[in-house]
Chain A
Amino acid sequence: GAVVSQHPSWVICKSGTSVKIECRSLDFQATTMFWYRQFPKQSLMLMATSNEGSKATYEQGVEKDKFLINHASLTLSTLTVTSAHPEDSSFYICSARLGPGELFFGEGSRLTVL
């Protein structure tokens, strides 16, 4: 099956710093990738849709200036959490679309903001 890789898998940072998380489709090209957020013992919530070569579209309530998304190539989307604060601590997961009804998930990235 298709493989999606996220990096880093776990990151700890100080409050006020920015953190970048990468999502790569390793063996296919993905014009569309998605970013989700998952708090402990909760479900996944879609944050934004990342489109190659164009601006990301954000779900209602997600701060676009806080969560910067860049989809510069067909195999890479990045999520930057700017000026991170403890409330941004969460598990972030990406998925990449291969075809109709076909989505593949990364392993997820655990962010802890001190």
Chain B
Amino acid sequence: AQTVTQSQPEMSVQEAETVTLSCTYDTSENNYYLFWYKQPPSRQMILVIRQEAYKQQNATENRFSVNFQKAAKSFSLKISDSQLGDTAMYFCAFMSSNYKLTFGKGTLLTVNP
């Protein structure tokens, strides 16, 4: 079974600064997907970024980028130029070959003005 670990229950950052959220996972599979989702107070799950395990290049989406280390089974999210609207719960998730998602416990990010 897959496990996803987010070791930072809460983090805070000043507006316009950069913050990195950590995520590690454990799996015996070789082909899989990794995700970061944002869940604001509305509780709608919003996809932030997706990484395919067979791609060595780190995924980027505007201010969001990941540091994917397959051998270390690490998948951290970097948010640059943090904005107040980035305040939310962030979940790291692993998708196995049967398309099931396993989520980490989440990191509550607060962006301070």
Residues in A neighbouring B44, C-beta threshold 8 A: 105, 107-108
Contact code string A92-114 (vs B, CB < 8 Å = 1, else 0)? 01010100110101011000000
Contact call B99/A32, Cβ cutoff below 8 A: yes
Contact call A101/B45, Cβ cutoff below 8 A: no
Partner pick for A43 among B42, B95, B98, B105, CB 8 A cutoff:
B105
Given A42-B105, A43-B105, A91 and B43 touching (CB < 8 A)?
A: yes
Contact call A46/B101, Cβ cutoff below 8 A: yes
Instruction: Give the distance in Å from the alpha carbon of A89 to the alpha carbon of B5 in the complex.
Output: 26
Residues in A neighbouring B95, C-beta threshold 8 A: 101, 103
Residues in B neighbouring A49, C-beta threshold 8 A: 98, 100
**CB nearest to B100 among chain A residues:** A46
Contact call A101/B105, Cβ cutoff below 8 A: no
Instruction: Give the distance in Å from the alpha carbon of A95 to the alpha carbon of B105 in the complex.
Output: 18
Give the number of residues in B that approach A within 8 Å (Cβ atoms).
18
Tell me if B86 counts as interface (CB < 8 A to partner A).
no
Tell me if B33 counts as interface (CB < 8 A to partner A).
yes
Contact code string A44-79 (vs B, CB < 8 Å = 1, else 0)? 111001000000000000000000000000000000
Instruction: Give the distance in Å from the alpha carbon of A96 to the alpha carbon of B64 in the complex.
Output: 24
Partner pick for B103 among A32, A44, A100, A101, CB 8 A cutoff:
A44
B32-47 contacts to A, CB under 8 A, are 33, 42-45
User: B: which residues have CB within 8 A of A?
Assistant: 33, 42-45, 50, 52, 91, 95, 98-106
User: A: which residues have CB within 8 A of B?
Assistant: 32, 34, 36, 38, 42-46, 49, 91, 93, 95, 97, 100-101, 103, 105, 107-108
